[in-house]
Amino acid sequence: MILALQTQHPPARVQVVAQEFSYSLSRTKVRAGRVIIELVNHGQDTHDLDMRRIGSTRIIRLPSVQPGQVVDRELKLVPGRYQLWCAIADHNARGMHAMLRVVSKKPARRRPGKTQRALKSAGRGWCATSRPAAIVEAARNEPAQRFGHRGRAVRAQVPPTSGIAQRS
């Protein structure tokens, strides 16, 4: 069911404008999943785009584009930080590189996690029934334990002050 929802969701888009010698990204953060990377060449030289998630050895390659041309590719990206660079000649060293952050899906709208739900339902059970009963029982037994006899005897030791003062 989750997979079906994911495929219905339109892919995110990131446009990368290449020129001598820089990349300009339409956004530097995108949600994980299907992402269309569009490489636009606004320069006078041929440029391309390689990208690699930090921690991974796999390099995703977009074909080179001639000046004035566009190429795009749909990818499935997992969360992480991705390095983007132009692999032509020394373009990378001359500044044609950028970073794209891929973040988990819908962090704000996510329903409570399994642990939160378990805590909530456990809390309901404990607060409404078990725990108050246990606390009441403990409170009832505590004076008797402290003074070495039953609760009734302890209550009798409490001086009857305020009630009498108000009555007279």
Instruction: Enumerate binding residues for Cu ion (CB under 5 A).
Output: 47, 86, 88, 91, 96
Residue 30 token pair: 């995108």
In the bound state with Cu ion, the residue whose beta carbon lies nearer, of 35 and 64, is 64
Rounded to the nearest whole angstrom, what is the least distance from the CB of residue 97 to Cu ion in the complex? 10
Give 60-129 as a 3 state SS string.
EEEEEECCCCEEEEEEEECCEEEEEECCCCCCCCCCCEEEEEEECCCCCCCCCCHHHHHHHHHHHHHHHH
In the bound state with Cu ion, the residue whose beta carbon lies nearer, of 83 and 144, is 83
In the bound state with Cu ion, the residue whose beta carbon lies nearer, of 20 and 151, is 20
Rounded to the nearest whole angstrom, what is the least distance from the CB of residue 20 to Cu ion in the complex? 7
Report strand pairing: 60-65 vs 12-19.
unpaired
With CA atoms as reference, report the closest residue to 62 among 38, 91, 46: 38
In the bound state with Cu ion, the residue whose beta carbon lies nearer, of 33 and 48, is 48
Rounded to the nearest whole angstrom, what is the least distance from the CB of residue 88 to Cu ion in the complex? 4
Residue 74: phi, psi to the nearest 5?
Answer: -90, 130
Rounded to the nearest whole angstrom, what is the least distance from the CB of residue 98 to Cu ion in the complex? 12
